[in-house]
C-alpha cells in the first residue's frame, strides 16, 4: 500500500537501468502504483498522478517501442481520459496504441462509447448551450467510426475464440443505438442481428452478458425503433411483445410500473431522435421515422387484448410527437394538431376500456390520462372541453398541482383570442362555497397558486415560474389593449409584478429563470416605448432599498 514508494523505485529502475532484468517490471509496477493513487485521490487532487502516468507512458514507449508495456500504458491513459470526459485527449492517446496491438480494439470501443454518450448529452441541450449542428454531426461521425473500427477488430477475435466480451457487447448495442438515432435503421438492424456478436443474437440465445443489468431491455427498445424505421411492423410488434414478456416474466409486483417507465423512456428517445433529425435537416429520415411510428402506433392501438401500458404508451407517444412539432405559439401547426387528435382519441379508447374492464388501470394512472387529454384539448383550441375535464379532476383533488397549472395554461391559450382570459388565468375561476360558507375559486389561477407554493424550498422553481406567468399574462393582456392609457397602465403593472419578485429574490431559482425574467422585462419596456434595460441592477452599497 505504499504506492508512491513503489512508483519511485519502479520508475528509477526504468529510467536509470533500462537494460536490467527488472526495468520493464519496475515500469509496470510504477504505472500500476500511479494508477491506484489516481483512482483513490480526491477529484481535485489528481493532476500529479495524471502527469506522472503521461510521462511514464512516454518513457515506456521510448524505451520499449512496440512492446505490450507501452500499449498498456496508453490504454490506462485512454481509460482516465474517458472517465474525465476528455475525449480529444482520449483520441490522442488512442492513436499511440498501434493498430496491431491487442489493446487497440478495447481502447476504440471505450472511446467510441464515451463519444456516443457525449453526443447524446450535447444533442439534448437547448438554446445557447446546444453546440452547432455541424459540431454534433462531427461528434456522431467520430463516435460511429471509432466504434466500427473497434467492433471490426474484435470480430476477428470472436471468430477464433467464440467469446464475446462485455466491452464488445456494450459497443455493438451503442453502435445500433447510434445508427437508429441518426436515421440509419437498416444499419441498426444489421448490427443487432449480426451473427454471434449482435445484441439481439446475444439476448435470444440467452448469453450471460445479455442477462446483466438492462441489456436485454435496451436491446428490444432499439430493435423496436429500428423495425419501425424500416416499417417492418410485424417484427416491431414481436419486439414489443418480447419486451413486455421480459419485464413481466419475473412476477415482480412492480412490473407494470417498470413497463410504464420503459415505454415513457422509449417515447422520449423517439422524440429526441425526431428532434435530432429535424435539426440536422434530414427530411427523408424524419419522414420515414415519423410515418413508420405513426403506422405502428395505430396498429398497436387497434389490436385486441391491449394492456393499459401499451395503450398508454400509444397515447403518450402521439402526444410527444405533437409536442415535438408544436412551437408553443398559436395557431398550432397542422402536423402537431394531427398528433394531438390521435393522442386524444387513444386516451378516449383507453378510458372506455378502463370503464369496461375492472382493475384495468389504477385511479392515479387514469388521472394522468385525463390530464394528458386536457393538454391535447387545450392545444387543439377546445378550451371549454379542457376546462370541463380539469374541473372534474379538481372536484376530487383540488390540490392537484398539475391540474391547477394546466387550467391556468388553458386560460392563457384562450387569452390569445379573447384577452380577458389572461386575467382569468391570473385570478382563477369557478367559484364554489367552502365548508365555512366562504366563496373560493376551484381553479386557483397563477396568483393563488404561487401564494400556496411560496416559502417551500421544494417548490421554489414552480413558485418563480408561477410569478413569471402572472407578469407574462399581464403583458399579453396589455399589448392587446386599444386605449393608450389602459395599455400604459397594464404594462406598468406587468413590469411591477416582475421587478417586485426579482428585488426580493435576485437569484430567483437560478440563471435560466433570471434570463427569462430579464427577457420579459425588456419586452415590456420596449412595449412601453422605454429603453429596454431589463431587470433593475443591484442597488449601490449603502443605498436605501
pLDDT at 133: 82
361 burial via Cβ count (<10 Å: 0-12, 13-18, 19+): buried
Look at residue 538 in the predicted model and tell me its pLDDT. Answer: 52
Half-sphere exposure of 313 (CA within 13 A, CB side): 28
Residues 516 and 499: their CA atoms lie apart, in Å, by 12
pLDDT at 539: 42
- Residue by residue, DSSP assigns 511-524 as HHHHHHHHHHHHHH
Contact 445, 408 (CB under 8 A): yes
State the pLDDT at residue 541: 39
Predicted TM-score (pTM) of the model is 0.67
Instruction: Say which residues have a Cβ less than 8 Å from residue 265's Cβ, sequence separation at least 6.
Output: 221
User: Residue with C-alpha cell 464515451?
Assistant: 114
Say what the pLDDT of residue 462 is. 95
Helix, strand, coil percentages (3-state) for the chain, rounded to 5, are 75, 0, 25
Beta partners for residue 431, in sequence order: 441
Report residues of the chain scoring pLDDT below 70.
159-162, 250-253, 256, 538-545
- Whole-angstrom CA distances from 281 to 119, 182, 370 are 17, 11, 35
Pull the grid cell for residue 178: 447510434
Amino acid at each position: 500500500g505504499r504506492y508512491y514508494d513503489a512508483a519511485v523505485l519502479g520508475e528509477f529502475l526504468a529510467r536509470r537501468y533500462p537494460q536490467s532484468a527488472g526495468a520493464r517490471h519496475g515500469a509496470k509496477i510504477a504505472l500500476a502504483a500511479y494508477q491506484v493513487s489516481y483512482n483513490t485521490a480526491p477529484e481535485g487532487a489528481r493532476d500529479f498522478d495524471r502527469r506522472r502516468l503521461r510521462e511514464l507512458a512516454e518513457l515506456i514507449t521510448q524505451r520499449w517501442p512496440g512492446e505490450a508495456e507501452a500499449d498498456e500504458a496508453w490504454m490506462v491513459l485512454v481509460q482516465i481520459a474517458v472517465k474525465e470526459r476528455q475525449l480529444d485527449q482520449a483520441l490522442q492517446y488512442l492513436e499511440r496504441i498501434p493498430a496491431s496491438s491487442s489493446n487497440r480494439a478495447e481502447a476504440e470501443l471505450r472511446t467510441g462509447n464515451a463519444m456516443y454518450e457525449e453526443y447524446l448529452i450535447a444533442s439534448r441541450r437547448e438554446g445557447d448551450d446546444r453546440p452547432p449542428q455541424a459540431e454534433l454531426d462531427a461528434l456522431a461521425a467520430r463516435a460511429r467510426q471509432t466504434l466500427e473500427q473497434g467492433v471490426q477488430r474484435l470480430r476477428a477475435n470472436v471468430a477464433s475464440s467464440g467469446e464475446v466480451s462485455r466491452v464488445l457487447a456494450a459497443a455493438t448495442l451503442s453502435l445500433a443505438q447510434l445508427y437508429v438515432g441518426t436515421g440509419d435503421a437498416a444499419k441498426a438492424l444489421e448490427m443487432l442481428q449480426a451473427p454471434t456478436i449482435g445484441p439481439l443474437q446475444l439476448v435470444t440465445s440467452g448469453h450471460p452478458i445479455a442477462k446483466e443489468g438492462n441489456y436485454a431491455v435496451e436491446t428490444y427498445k432499439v430493435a423496436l425503433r429500428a423495425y419501425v424505421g424500416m416499417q417492418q411492423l410485424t417484427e416491431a410488434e414481436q419486439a414489443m411483445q418480447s419486451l413486455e414478456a421480459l419485464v413481466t416474466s419475473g412476477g415482480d409486483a412492480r412490473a407494470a410500473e417498470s413497463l410504464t417507465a420503459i415505454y415513457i423512456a422509449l417515447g422520449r428517445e423517439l422524440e429526441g431522435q425526431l428532434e435530432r433529425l429535424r435539426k440536422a435537416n434530414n427530411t427523408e429520415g424524419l419522414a420515414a421515422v415519423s410515418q413508420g411510428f405513426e403506422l405502428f402506433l395505430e396498429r398497436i392501438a387497434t389490436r385486441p387484448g391491449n394492456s393499459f401500458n401499451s395503450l398508454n404508451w400509444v397515447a403518450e407517444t402521439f402526444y410527444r410527437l405533437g409536442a415535438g412539432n408544436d412551437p408553443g405559439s398559436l395557431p398550432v401547426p397542422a402536423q402537431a394538431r394531427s398528433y394531438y387528435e390521435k393522442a386524444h382519441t387513444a386516451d378516449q379508447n383507453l378510458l372506455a376500456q378502463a370503464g369496461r374492464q375492472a382493475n384495468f388501470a389504477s385511479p392515479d394512472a387514469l388521472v394522468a390520462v385525463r390530464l394528458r387529454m386536457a393538454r391535447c384539448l387545450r392545444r387543439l383550441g377546445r378550451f371549454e372541453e379542457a376546462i370541463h375535464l380539469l374541473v372534474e379532476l379538481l372536484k376530487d383533488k383540488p390540490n392537484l398541482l398539475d391540474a391547477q397549472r394546466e387550467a391556468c395554461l388553458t386560460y392563457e391559450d384562450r387569452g390569445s383570442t379573447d384577452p380577458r382570459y389572461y386575467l382569468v388565468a391570473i385570478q382563477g375561476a369557478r367559484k364554489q362555497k367552502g365548508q365555512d360558507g366562504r366563496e373560493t375559486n376551484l381553479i386557483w389561477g397563477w396568483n393563488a397558486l404561487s401564494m400556496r407554493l411560496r416559502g417551500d424550498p421544494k417548490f421554489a422553481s414552480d413558485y418563480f415560474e408561477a410569478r413569471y406567468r402572472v407578469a407574462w399574462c399581464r403583458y399579453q393582456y396589455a399589448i392587446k389593449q386599444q386605449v393608450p392609457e389602459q395599455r400604459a397602465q397594464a404594462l406598468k403593472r406587468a413590469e411591477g409584478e416582475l421587478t417586485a419578485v426579482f428585488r426580493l429574490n435576485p437569484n430567483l431559482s437560478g440563471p435560466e429563470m433570471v434570463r427569462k425574467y430579464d427577457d420579459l422585462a425588456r419586452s415590456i419596456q420596449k412595449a412601453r416605448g422605454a429603453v429596454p434595460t431589463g431587470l433593475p441592477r443591484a442597488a449601490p452599497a449603502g443605498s436605501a432599498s
